[in-house]
Structure 1
Amino acid sequence: MAGKARGILFSLLVLTLIESSRAGSGIGTYWGQNTFEGSLNDACSSGLYSYVNIAFLNTFGSAQVPQLNLGGHCDPRYGQCVGLTTDILNCQKLGIKVMLSLGGPTGTYTLTSTEDAKNLAIYLWNNFLGGQSATRPFGTAVLDGIDFDIDLGSNQYYSDLARFLADYSKQGTKVYLSATPRCTFPDSYMGTAISTGLFDFIWIKFYNNPACEYAVGNIQSLTSAWTKWTSSVPSSTMFLELPASADAATSGFIPTDILINQIFPHVKTSPNYGGIMIWSRYYDSLSGYSKSVKGDVPQQIELKSSLEDEGRSCSSA
């Protein structure tokens, strides 16, 4: 009986590994800011990504009605984004975590009080996560979590927002939290929030910041910043966020051979290294950047808790 149970567990484990491999390596990307990048389903079915951040919810706080801006893909004001329900579910079936990204480089967003943060958390829970609302922009699809890509407004109260969102995980469904700080430590907008230790993933933005990004022939600024981040926030899984081409950023683009041969050997020594986050799906689809480095990025394989429980029962058998 014990042998049969172990055989069943092994079969389930193999199926889990196969399903996880379909999600690609530990590579993420931002989708939603260019209609020429293809559909969300296209991005997920490419086999390149384990994480996709839908960008952006860039109007919120200070008594504003929260508003999505998906770069022309759909207009939520007319219910057009409900069509993303199927795409999101398809991505998740492939093992890809789909997050909603708050903020971005443009928009009108800020948090002005703890109450403001609480109200936004309630809105996000009811409209994008496990709650209920008659006006869910993506229909019945339940996103895996919320990404903080804060570049504007006040730097206060995002720690409150993180705590309120993390509290929803106590209701039985994990709400993943991620953040996109600049590579200077601590980040001026998200430093306090990140110090709470509540963020599962941190995509450190190593571009458009000469103080800590790659420069031709010099990886020292980047590797020093990486070491500071990974040692200071050991509880979060860390990713290099990189532009997919020289056109995707003002500065900081890293040629793939430099990334693979010079930078990866250093960053991979960090125990909380997770992979890379690519800006963005549009530029990545043009350059093939993530495809070029996929083989050098670790696979993201998660053994479901149900299988772990099964394993414990098998051991006792």
Structure 2
Amino acid sequence: MTVLALPLLILTSLLASLCNGAGIATYWGQNTGEGTLAVACATGNYKFINIGFLNVFGNGQTPQLNLVGHCNPNIAGSCSSIGNDIAGCQSSGVKVFLSLGGGVGTYSNSTYSLSSFSDAQQVATFLWNNFLGGTSTSRPFGNAILDGIDFDIEAGTGANYDVLAKALQEHSTSQRKVFLSAAPQCPFPDAHLSHAINTGVFDFVWVQFYNNPSAACQYNGNTNQLLSSWSKWSTVNAGQVFLGIPVATGAASSGFIPPQVLISQVLPTIKSSPKYGGVMLWFRFFDTSYSNSIKGSI
């Protein structure tokens, strides 16, 4: 190899890495101790942040946000500072989504479902007018326009979420795309989101490889089950697939992967998938050092 060829090889490798576009996603909004959204984005560690959750919607219900003390969506203007933070995050290259659903039982008033095609269309219209590019007098985050909608559906039958996803996707234009993400559980196929994901309209799928100890699809001291499950998920009809893991032992009941294990035993395999997009960390409050320790290996 000539002297000139070596720097050229290094440059080519760097460009390939940059073009890959892999990154870290996380969830914010579930603990006031996690700091503001602006602080999360200022770390420079995240490519995507899901604001969670819109945990009441559908079946004729008035949609409700639950941001656990960050603001009170029922009080006009209470969440306007989050709108300012959203704009700041976007200006620094972070895409910010609103997450629908969440774990039922996490909050006493969590209840969501889509009872019909018409119901899904109505929820899509609500989301467009209150969080995306539409207009409403009751936008919780003011004029901030979120980049997309995340589906973290963990209850009900999963009916009509395909309708909701396609209705939202139809709002995409050449000037502004409405991104869609899904957070299925690692048992394949997912009980609630498989039909929606199969539509092919989702840009990102961050699979939850945690809280499923009996399903043999998460890390349990060795990587065999997780990598076997990943091989199935890496073929879904979506733009990119992310490995979703708890950021600390306290963030989930099971599935935590020590960062050195992730770097040495998991990432080298999953990064070979053409649809590999990065890692999703659940969730921001517990991320005191994990994202820092892995970001150079994503």
TM-score using structure 2 length: 0.89
- Do the aligned partners of residues 203 and 86 (structure 1) sit closer, same or farther apart at CA in structure 2, a change above 3 Å counting? same
Query: Which residue of the other structure, out of 66, 89, 94, is the alignment partner of 1:69?
Result: 66
What whole-Å deviation, never above 9, does each CA across 1:81-134 have from its counterpart, x for those lacking one?
122121000000000000000000131111110101000000000000000001
Partner of 2:23: 26
For residues 134-283 of structure 1, what are the structure 2 equivalents within 5 Å?
A: 134-170=137-173, 172-210=175-213, 211-216=216-221, 218-233=222-237, 235-283=238-286
User: 3-state SS of the aligned residue for 2:152?
Assistant: strand
Partner of 1:42: 39
Query: Following the alignment from structure 1 to structure 2, what is the Cα–Cα distance between the partners of residues 168 and 225?
Result: 33
Unaligned runs of 5+ in 2: 1-14, 105-109
User: 3-state SS of the aligned residue for 2:90?
Assistant: helix
Partner of 2:89: 91
Query: Following the alignment from structure 1 to structure 2, what is the Cα–Cα distance between the partners of residues 172 and 191?
Result: 29
Shift, 1:243, TM fit: 0.3
User: 3-state SS of the aligned residue for 1:155?
Assistant: coil
Shift, 1:153, TM fit: 2.1
Shift, 1:220, TM fit: 1.0
Shift, 1:258, TM fit: 0.6
| Contact 1:223-1:263 within 8 A present in 2 as well | yes
Shift, 1:171, TM fit: 7.2
Shift, 1:172, TM fit: 4.0
- Do the aligned partners of residues 295 and 100 (structure 1) sit closer, same or farther apart at CA in structure 2, a change above 3 Å counting? same
Using CA pairs below 8 Å that are at least 6 residues apart, which structure has the higher relative contact order? 1
Higher helix share: 1
Instruction: Report the AA paired with residue 294 of structure 1.
Output: K
- Do the aligned partners of residues 92 and 174 (structure 1) sit closer, same or farther apart at CA in structure 2, a change above 3 Å counting? same
Instruction: Report the AA paired with residue 270 of structure 1.
Output: S
Query: Following the alignment from structure 2 to structure 1, what is the Cα–Cα distance between the partners of residues 173 and 146?
Result: 16
Percent of matched pairs sharing the same residue: 53
Shift, 1:165, TM fit: 0.2
TM-score using structure 1 length: 0.84
Query: Following the alignment from structure 2 to structure 1, what is the Cα–Cα distance between the partners of residues 90 and 58?
Result: 29
Shift, 1:170, TM fit: 3.7
| Contact 1:25-1:48 within 8 A present in 2 as well | no
Tell me how many residue pairs correspond in the alignment.
273
User: 3-state SS of the aligned residue for 2:88?
Assistant: helix
| Contact 2:157-2:191 within 8 A present in 1 as well | no
Unaligned runs of 5+ in 1: 1-16, 298-317
Query: Following the alignment from structure 1 to structure 2, what is the Cα–Cα distance between the partners of residues 164 and 170?
Result: 13
